[in-house]
Structures are given as structure tokens and as C-alpha cells.
Chain A
């Protein structure tokens, strides 16, 4: 039971982890609040959020076993 949160790049540096298993929260806004409360340094960086591998633009409902990724700005190429 729960939501898998994948952390990358600078976000993984801040949290010291690359995966978190958290209890189900209602939506991505709640997840954000929870993460920024636990890791206040996240407030100072820009990141986007992907739910089940799709980047979301607005608050999105979450369900058991969803995978959420916290994505700092990309720098591939």
C-alpha cells in the first residue's frame, strides 16, 4: 500500500534518497506539501512532477501504487 516517489538529480541530493515509499495521499498538492515539510530545501529549487511517467501541469489525484517522480530541470544532450 502506498505511493512510490522517485527522486532524481538535485532532488535526490537534497533528500539523500532516490526512492521513497509513502502512504497514500489524495493528490499531488498534498504530496508536495508533505515533501516540502520533510525536506524544506526542496522549496528553493524548481522541479516538475510526473505521475506514472507523464508530466502533470495541475493538481492530480493519486491512487494506491501510483508512481510519482520529482524531476528537477533536465540537462540531457
Chain B
């Protein structure tokens, strides 16, 4: 079964837009798919006082995160009639304007793809042990807090 194929979620550094294009192209032979939903998280240049975020440095509790990604994946297939799904998350430094999270769901109809994608993104933000340290343009830093 296609949906059992599990790739590595963590990517060193930013997620390349070309890689996202290739991921879409790989689905052209799955002709039962009628809808893809894609979420891309991009590092924002937040201003905090005088400082501006230049990059986020991501670290994770990898072993626990990888188990959770498998659980999130299994639950997504259980809860939504999707055909396939992929998650990629950056580790290490990602500059403002670059992509750090890529969630990609495919289904027969749009609503299932969209709902699954949203549920997966929410769970990643809430449950997966990943931490982002905001690096400012003056090289100071602070730990980011998800809102």
C-alpha cells in the first residue's frame, strides 16, 4: 500500500520550493486524486522592540517527534478519507522568508484534503516536541512561543 511508505520528516535547513514542486509532480500518476491541500509554514520577520527576526533555529526531541509523526499519520488515515499525505519539517537554521513546514494531503474531494491538512498542522504545532529559537538581526536570540 502506498500509504505505508514512510519517509523522513526532518530536513536539514529550509525546505526548497523546488522540492515542493517535485512532490506535487510525483502525484500525477495517481489519477484517483481530485484534490491536494498544501500548508507551507514560512519564517516571519517578526519585530520585537528594536529587533527583527532574521532566522529561526529549530531543534527537536527527534525520537519522540518521529513517533508522534507516525501516530499523526495513522490518525489522519483513520479520520479522513485521504489517499496520501506527507509531512516535512526543518531542523537547524531557516532564514526569514524560507519554508520550515510542508504538509501535503491528497484526496478524491477537496474538503477531505483541506480538513486533513488543517488537522495535521494543528497537531504538529500542539504536540510535536520541536523548538524554534528566534535569531535577531543583531544575533541576539529568544525562544519562540507558538500562538
Contact = CB atoms under 8 A, between A and B. Distances in A.
Interface of A: 6, 8-10, 13, 50, 53, 69, 71-77
B: contact size bracket: 20 to 34
B58 interface: yes
A74 B143 contact: no
B143 A9 contact: yes
A76 B61 contact: no
A10 B129 CA distance: 13
B132 A72 contact: no
A13 B142 CA distance: 11
Interface of B: 41, 58-61, 63-64, 67, 89, 100-101, 121, 124-133, 143-146
B124 A77 contact: yes
A72 B145 CA distance: 10
A77 B41 contact: yes
Interface core residue of A10, A50, A72, A74 (most chain B CB under 10 Å): A74
A30 B143 CA distance: 27
A73 B126 CA distance: 9
Given A9-B143, A74-B125, A76-B89, 11 more contacts: A6-B61, A8-B59, A8-B131, A69-B61, A69-B64, A73-B146, A74-B129, A74-B131, A75-B144, A76-B129, A77-B121
B143 A76 contact: no
